[in-house]
Amino acid sequence: MKKVKALVITGYGINCEEELAAAYKLAGAESKIVHLNDIFLEKESIHEYDILNFPGGFSFGDDLGSGKVLANKMKYKKMESGKTLLDEIKDFLTQGKFIFGICNGFQFLVKMGLLPNTNGNFEQEVTLTRNNSAKYEDRWIHLKKNPKCNTPFLKDIDIIPCPVRHGEGKLIIKNEEIKKEIQQKNLNTFSYCDANGKITSEYPLNPNGADLDCAALTDPTGQVLGMMPHPEAFLSLYNHPNWGQIKRQNPNISEDGEGLKIFKNIVGHINRKDREGAK
Amino acid sequence: MKNQIQLVLKDKIRDVQGEKVQKVAQSFLNINTGKVKTGKVFNVMYDLKEDQISRFANLGLRDDIIHEVYINSFYQDTFYRSFVLVAKQPGVTDDEGISAQKTLMDILDLDLDTNTQHIYTEDIYLFENELDNNLLKELSEELLGNKLIQHFEYGKFTGKLEYIPEVQIDSENKQLIIDLDVDDDALQKISKDMLLSLNLKEMKAIREYYLQDRTRAIRKQNDLPEEPTDCEMEVLAQTWSEHCKHKEFAASIKYTNKETGEEETIDSLFKTYIRRSTEIIRERLIEAGNNWLLKIFTDNAGVVKIDDKSVFVWKVETHNSPSAIDPYGGAITGILGNNRDPLGTGIGGGKLLFNTNVLCFGPPNYDKELLPGQLHPKRIFEGVRHGIEDGGNKSGIPTVNGSIIFDDRYSGKPLVYCGTGGVMPYQFAGVNSWLKPIDDGDLIIMAGGRVGKDGIHGATFSSAEIDEHSPQSAVQIGSPITQKLLGNYLQEAAELGLVKCSTDNGAGGLSSSVGELAEITGGAIVNLEKVPLKYSNLKPWEIFVSESQERMTLVVEEHNRKALFELAEDREVELSEIGKFTSTGFIDVRYDDKKVAYLDMKFLHEGVPKKYMEAEWEKPELNEPEIPSNLDYNEILIKLMGSDNICSREDVIRQYDHEVKGKTIIKPLMGAEGKSPQDAAVMRLNFNSFEGIAISNGICPKFGDIDAYQMSAGAFDEAVRQILSVGGKLPDINDNTNRFWTVNDNFCVPDSAYNPISNPDGKLKLAKLVQMNKALFDMSTFYNIPMTSGKDSMKNDFKSGEIKISVPPTILYSMVAKIDDVRKTITSNFKAEGDIIYVLGKTYNELGGSEFYRLFDELGKNVPNVRKDDAVRLYKKIMKANDLALIASCHDLSDGGLATAITECAFTDNFGADIELGKLSDIGVNAALFSESHSRFVVSVKPEEKIRFENILADDAFYIGKVTLDNKLKVNLNGKRIINISMNRLQSAWEKGLL
């Protein structure tokens, strides 16, 4: 069987490419880390891959606001072919392929207009900006999935713990209409919650004060997912801050981290889709 | 043509930054600003058309959801009655400006020069309240910026901003010749006036060199003046600096121990104790055929073997003086500079795995009047913390381990230790990665940031000499993004085999990096006119010794030049070929083909005269204090938990990314709520196996006031026991699995050179340094735990007029040890109700220097002693118990002793503990609860493992009680309850200590 191919972008201050690439390998896919400039120089094409991934980090040091400089590059920088990378990405999505952005990757997907993209016109409708705490923080939080959301990334997930590691993760929605659209279309895929799954705006359970307590967005097709927390930082049980006690309480627990599920989901989905396609 | 763009938040968007400024202005400076509105100003100096500037402002800079944009006008509202503008001084790093330049190029599809500054950013703060100029000045200098690197404007905002920090330097580019044919006083004056920091003996040695017939002949041949050029004096001063040549650690010391009457002469502390201890361990390893020490004390960092595929490289540095002047800049350049050490070791291009930082500050509630130039400890703390946050987080390197220590004596100069570890493949393109091969004819290539006046003469540069267009040079601000690009590029280039080897450009700049590499071939030619500059008109010597950051020097073979330059262009890293290595025996520095320095390599590196120093140890007269007998131990424990040196560091820890890379297994805080402090960090090395490392640090300067030897030995043991605590194993010479340990020793001491007037107790200070070194040697060779690299910082005194604040002699041991399987490591927090609790290791009445005595403002006399034999016996038993997975939780005992350690173990779930001191209290209740005797742990064990555990630990384990689930700490003394307190109260005191 042909292996699912994941492209992980790096360069310009992106930091989390290695663990993201590892996530796909652990989920049974092939993954390749490629410098963004090699794509601009058309040495690599995104169309060779099934999933395009934008990892976390501080692209361009987050100068001018998180993800902004990178988003500008994708939107405006012309390649030799005369196209922008955003044009290529639109083609990529038209083919039914998938995009995943985490943390800085999510920030940049919203600034490019790929998320939530309620009307499919790729205009910026939300932003991610400074946490209400005015601090960068690394802490583990819980996420509750919107049960009605429609994205193959999150199948069979209800509540998962994950670390957040950001200073600019507060989602602000442009206006009430877009907020309604997001809610009606169930594009807010993950909300910050307490350990029992109760959605909350209480700090630090909700670490940034996001609108709708929202930690992740998808687009109406479900092909694009962006999230502030880092599932790729929870590939192994031993990433969890309480693994010692968890293992004591449940000695036979799987050594996989719960974040890995998301990657297994999408890889599995593409595999099934390919099999169905082959039939 | 100047265009100005301003971004402010829309009124409906919460101004989080403004709120923070308002809050901190009130709490820290007691200034009521009223509401604060923040804005960002971009001064664009490119020649652009109106529509271009509008497109740039609206598409490139503005975030449509939150920003309003103003072009060539500014936001004004009568609601805000005063303002402060914070601009950078000329030449200060402006990353936002550079990023804006890059985005401008993308948006307008223009080819612009983005290597030099054309967009200058500024921050503007509007205040609701009408504040007078004194208050605005205070806000500017104490909160919003630092006058050494920033330019402020304040008052009532008129809607105009004029200031642009463009660098302008007079074009006079003359080379000076220094006449050394003068008397002693004049020689010393030359050293002083040129800020060379060379003493008379050194100046005379230089004069001597120039008078030699051979020197004269060679200079004549090469068309150089007989007397030294300014560049030559600068190169000599830099190469012979304490920082580069470690003259005091190389000195011959006459050591008198008045306590024992012994006298000895020590020929170099470094050679006698530090290097020798490692050599002894290496001899043992080689004899056993298990040598994992690949590189020690040469190069930028030490290297040890992980396995046949990879090696571990790491370095710990200090950045104290810069952090005293500009805490943010000092810390960020410290951490980024330290990153370049492992990055530039051997061939270079290792992958950086983690950062550590250990910080020593004055107490946050310091209430003495500040001396001129002295910053409040709290401000230093916040600035340093922020620098480490940006330096680590933006580079994608997790900050996994550290400590913060408070003591009055660090309120002049803080200590800022930065450590970085990385992994290199065993080989790059078939060559062992830790080697540094260079041949005659290899090219010298500079990579990374451009060169400006940064850091020339470091902190000695007087701010009084600066006018509004002279580039600021005393303080530097690191640029993590520049370095990130450089680091990634170097990794790629090394993997492709394009780089023969590399080194960091740090202190001393090119002079140091090229000068040291040139020792390998025996010479180099450098063409300074080829070095790319941040701004024009730098003098040749300035280019050569500039410490501009984010640069590395690469050694490249001719045939790789093309591919290397092509890759650099793709990765947006600037490269410049600036010369080549030779074997002439001379360092030959030119500007436009004119020789500006031509120095004999042998004289340059070996010509510095040896120092002679005197040390004299006299035992201090100390006594044990009288402590009241009717203590309320509940209250004592609450006080201790909230005390500066024990309380929670969570607020700091959470602002560091400690898990980027996804490999951190034991983080600084663990447990269900992430509240339990841990002893050492544990990381896995890759995603395919569970092999890993543990990282710890030992530092306890407080014991040095009683006994410097025991302080150093104790710090060493502390770092070792932390690693044992998480499940690490002592080295075993006969083990053939590369169970490596690698230590960085960092000495930070006050001026220890005796001077009857300026440093009358210099001999005693030096004696303490000698004893610290003796302890290092004894501990290291006993445990077989080697130093692989280190650093000394010798003049940690803050002087203001007649007043001197000197740090206590301080040593930090930073340790890394291999972990076979990270899944078998152990965290400090309790795991289950009913587990039984033991203290491991014997407790002595050793309250001297303890946190308990500090509550009573006492020092005491009974300093904790390290008993090496007992310690190793216990550690081996713990290793055995861990092999059988018998220990559920383990926490080492240090500050605050047993009582605080048990409390910390219970900071998760609703755990508590029910303790009976029993026989432990034979040494007294205070000692039982709070003694800080070394080599001890508190562990919890499943009840069903009791017998197996006790069989192994035998006399070294003392049963003291059980883990409960009642959220209470109860301590009994022979049945009588002496502590009974809710965990919530203890935890709350602990969490609020620093807030």
- Please say if the pLDDT value at position B79 is more than 60: yes
What's B661's DSSP letter?
T
List pLDDT tens digits, range B884-917.
Answer: 999 999 999 999 999 999 999 999 889 999 999 9
Q: What is the mean pLDDT of residues B747-766?
A: 94
Which pLDDT value is given to residue B527? Answer: 97
Higher pLDDT, B468 or B266: B266
One-letter amino acid for residue A170 of the chain: K
Residues 87-146 on B with a CB inside 8 Å of A are 95-96, 98-100, 102-103, 106-107, 109
pLDDT of the residue at A27: 97
Q: Which two tokens stand for residue B516?
A: 């040291």
Is 60 exceeded by the pLDDT of residue B459?
Answer: no
- Burial (CB count <10 Å: 0-12, 13-18, 19+), residue B28: middle
* Chain B 798-857, residues with CB within 8 Å of chain A CB atoms: 822-823, 826-827, 829, 831-832
pLDDT in tens, B826-853: 999 999 999 999 999 999 999 999 999 9
The shortest C-alpha distance from A188 to chain B (Å) reads: 18
Check residue A98 and give left, alpha or beta (phi > 0: left; psi -120 to 50: alpha): beta
Whether B342 has a pLDDT exceeding 80, the answer reads yes
Residues of A in contact with B480 (CB under 8 A): 13, 58, 61
pLDDT category at B469 given cuts 50, 70, 90 is low
- Please list every residue in chain A whose beta carbon sits closer than 8 Å to the beta carbon of residue B687: 19, 22, 25-26, 235
DSSP secondary structure code for residue B943 in this structure: G
The pLDDT assigned to B468 comes to 54
Inspect the interface and report whether the beta carbons of A61 and B479 lie closer than 8 Å. Answer: yes
On whether any CB of chain A is under 8 Å from the CB of B43, the answer is no
Of the candidates A25, A60, A244, the beta carbon closest to that of B99 is on A60
Whether B462 has a pLDDT exceeding 50, the answer reads no
Contacts of A133 in chain B (CB under 8 A): 16
Distance from CA of A50 to the nearest CA of B (A): 23
Report the interhelical angle of B509-521 vs B230-239 (nearest 10°).
80
Mean pLDDT of B52-77: 96
Give B951-964 pLDDT, tens digit per residue: 999 999 999 999 99
| Mean pLDDT estimate for chain B | 94
pLDDT at position B463: 35
Q: Which residues between 458 and 497 in chain B have a beta carbon less than 8 angstroms from any beta carbon of chain A?
A: 479-481, 484-485, 488
pLDDT tier at B458, thresholds 50, 70, 90: low
From B878, B904, B880, select the one nearest B891 (Cα to Cα): B904
CB atoms within 10 A of CB B681: 28
Of A115, A35, A145, nearest to B65 by C-alpha is A115
Query: Element (H or E) spanning B303, and its range?
Result: strand B302-305
Q: B664, A239: Cβ pair inside 8 Å?
A: yes
Mean pLDDT confidence for A233-247? 97
Interchain contact, A63 vs B572, CB within 8 Å: no
CB contact under 8 A, A72 and B99: no
Element holding B118 (H helix, E strand): none
User: Please, is A220 exposed, middle or buried when counting C-beta atoms within 10 Å of its C-beta (0-12, 13-18, 19+)?
Assistant: middle
pLDDT-based confidence at residue B523 (cuts at 50, 70, 90): very high
Query: What does residue B436 show for φ and ψ, rounded to 5 degrees?
Result: -130, 75
Q: Is the ipTM of this complex over 0.95?
A: yes
Cβ contact, residue pair B662, A139, below 8 Å: no
Active-site amino acid positions of A: 103, 230, 232
* B21 burial via Cβ count (<10 Å: 0-12, 13-18, 19+): buried
Best to test chain B binding among A73, A138, A203, A243 (most B CBs inside 10 Å): A138
- Measured between CA atoms, how close is B385 to chain A, in angstroms? 12
Let me know how long chain B is.
Answer: 995
Q: How far apart are CA B694 and CA B306, in angstroms?
A: 13
CA distance B723 to chain A (A): 17
Say which residues have a Cβ less than 8 Å from residue B384's Cβ, sequence separation at least 6: B323, B327, B328, B330, B331, B359, B361, B414, B416
Q: 3-state SS of B148-200? A: CCEEEEEECCCCCCCCCCCCCCCCCCCCCECCCCCCHHHHHHHHHHCCCCCCH
**What is the least distance, in Å, from the CA of B326 to any CA of chain A?**
21
The string of pLDDT tens digits covering residues B362-396 is: 999 999 999 888 899 999 999 999 999 999 999 99
- For residue range A178-210, list pLDDT tens digits in order: 999 999 999 999 999 999 999 999 999 999 999
Residue A56 with chain B: CB contacts under 8 Å: 660
A111, A126, A134: residue with CB nearest B19: A134
CA atoms within 13 A on the CB side of A97: 20
Mean pLDDT of B156-178: 85
Which chain A residues are Cβ-neighbours of B570 within 8 angstroms?
35, 37-38, 41
Nearest to B550 by CA among B488, B595, B629: B488
Cβ neighbours of A165 in B, within 8 Å: 393, 657, 659-660
Signed CA dihedral, B60, B106, B487, B455: sign only: negative
Q: Token pair of B641, please?
A: 């938990």
Q: What is the least distance, in Å, from the CA of B12 to any CA of chain A?
A: 11
Q: What is the predicted pLDDT for the residue at A279?
A: 65
> Taking CA atoms, what residue in B is nearest to A108?
B63
pLDDT tens string A51-65? 999 999 998 888 888
CA atoms within 13 A on the CB side of A95: 17
Tell me, what's the pLDDT at B473? 65
Calculate what percentage of chain B has a pLDDT beyond 70: 98
C-alpha dihedral, B516 to B517 to B523 to B524, nearest 10°: -110
- Probe site for chain A from B14, B119, B393, B673 (most A CB atoms < 10 A): B393
Say whether pLDDT at A87 is over 90. yes
Chain A: closest CA distance from residue B97 (Å):
8
Q: How confident is the model at residue B515 (pLDDT cuts 50, 70, 90)?
A: very high
Is the pLDDT at B814 greater than 80, yes or no? yes
Nearest to B4 by CA among B40, B46, B42, B31: B42
Pairwise CB contact (< 8 Å): B64 & A35: no
Phi then psi for residue B60, to 5 deg, are -85, -40
Q: How many cross-chain Cβ pairs, A to B, lie less than 8 Å apart?
A: 190
Mean pLDDT of B488-501: 97
Residues 946-965 of B with CB under 8 A from A: none
Q: Which residue of A has its CA nearest to B667?
A: A241
